[in-house]
Chains A and B, each alone.
Chain A
């Protein structure tokens, strides 16, 4: 078993989930509470990664973040290395790729908070930051859990973006899904079965843990 790939996948999924929640909570709050005309366009944009095949998204990132564009050169100057074929590059790719899986549950959860409560908070002078931290997030806690779980699992299972952007470097871009693919392609079915079993077991354990704690919370509330 390749523990390096296992650890790398966990690290990638954790970092990606943390960044996604930091982006998605304010974004979802803006989409639900905001009144601006261009918000539907923003929501559409945040959902768009669902449409693009992951390999295509990976290819666009490879070209866009490569040293042949101003964006790519800027990032390379900032980090000291180009983004492609590095862990940081995979984080950028994963955040974009899993964005809808973090934003959509949060939008649904925030929208389910009764408008009487948000209106009352607004009348009492709560600013947008206060509304999010004291009202939306506590009331939509289950959506937050769902968003985190989906982001995490979607990143663990991510393949196309990593394939295009990664370059299969052990310890920095060879994730479990790439390892699994390599094993299958190299006719090493026994190893592939082991990797797949570990991947599935890990996800089942994580899901059961998350759902049992959020279930308890639901029970206490009711």
Chain B
């Protein structure tokens, strides 16, 4: 009796995933975490499909996909990481040799509202009272790369270098500033616009001519068994109403 019960129990346990519909798996850059969930919910409602998103630094997701992580669609925060996947032959962009751009990112200088320093502006960056400036890792986070480019254009990089604290991604860079450990940080507009950070801080939009555009690109993962569904989600992202929604969340539409 007991034995049979366990046999049935384990059979059900093993068999359960077979009956459930496999969700569409999206690997999404960390800066999309505040933006994507409502968009994915709309998509699920319209199509009846189930979508699961994983948010990580673009470099981390790239390594995972290179090592055959079970994702269907990759939304990177730049073009170089998805390009790497195309070159390695594990992803494609609907026949195009380059990733499909879906949005552009904006870099902002963010500071807590209760900071004793002057409000965020370019002048704040050359203020001697700025002891710690948080940025995302320039080697793997596109916003970190943009931050270093902007500081270099401003000829402030060498002066500020000893005062830079490097975070894993923009979310952690924001955390360093929000917890008061760094006086200011260069983060994404998508993070600065989240209710949590909008309540505790204020931001200054870094002029776009200071850094190369943060173009964000998408690719379809080749091992995916749900190519059509992944393409449908990508088309949905590129549709006019969703692009308008991206604009409200701090990304610049590409269409």
> Footprint of B on A, CB under 8 Å?
59, 62-63, 66-68, 72, 82, 84-85, 163-164, 167-169, 182, 184-187
Q: Known contacts A182-B139, A186-B140: does B179 contact A85 (CB below 8 Å)?
A: no
Q: Known contacts A167-B165, A167-B167, A185-B59: does B139 contact A67 (CB below 8 Å)?
A: no
Is A68 in contact with B139, judged by CB distance below 8 angstroms?
no
Q: A66-B179, A68-B180 are in contact. List 14 more A-B contacts (CB 8 A).
A: A62-B175, A62-B176, A62-B179, A66-B180, A68-B179, A72-B180, A85-B132, A85-B182, A164-B172, A167-B132, A167-B134, A167-B167, A168-B137, A168-B166
A67 to B181, CA, bound (A): 6
Q: Known contacts A167-B166, A186-B140: does B60 contact A66 (CB below 8 Å)?
A: no
Cβ-based interface call for B63 (8 A): yes
- The B17-50 residues at the A interface (CB cut-off 8 A) are none
- The total of interchain contacts (Cβ-Cβ below 8 angstroms) comes to 51
A84 to B168, CA, bound (A): 15
Q: In the complex, how many residues of chain B place their beta carbon closer than 8 angstroms to a beta carbon of chain A?
A: 20
CB proximity of B222 to chain A, nearest CB, Å? 19
CB proximity of B92 to chain A, nearest CB, Å? 21
With CB as the reference atom, state the residue of chain B lying closest to A186. Answer: B139
With CB as the reference atom, state the residue of chain B lying closest to A67. Answer: B180
Point out the residues of chain B lying under 8 angstroms from A67, CB to CB.
180-181
Is A187 in contact with B63, judged by CB distance below 8 angstroms?
yes
With CB as the reference atom, state the residue of chain B lying closest to A68. Answer: B180
Is A185 in contact with B180, judged by CB distance below 8 angstroms?
no
Q: Known contacts A167-B167, A169-B165, A186-B139: does B179 contact A63 (CB below 8 Å)?
A: yes
CB proximity of B152 to chain A, nearest CB, Å? 19
Point out the residues of chain A lying under 8 angstroms from B180, CB to CB.
66-68, 72
CB proximity of A175 to chain B, nearest CB, Å? 14
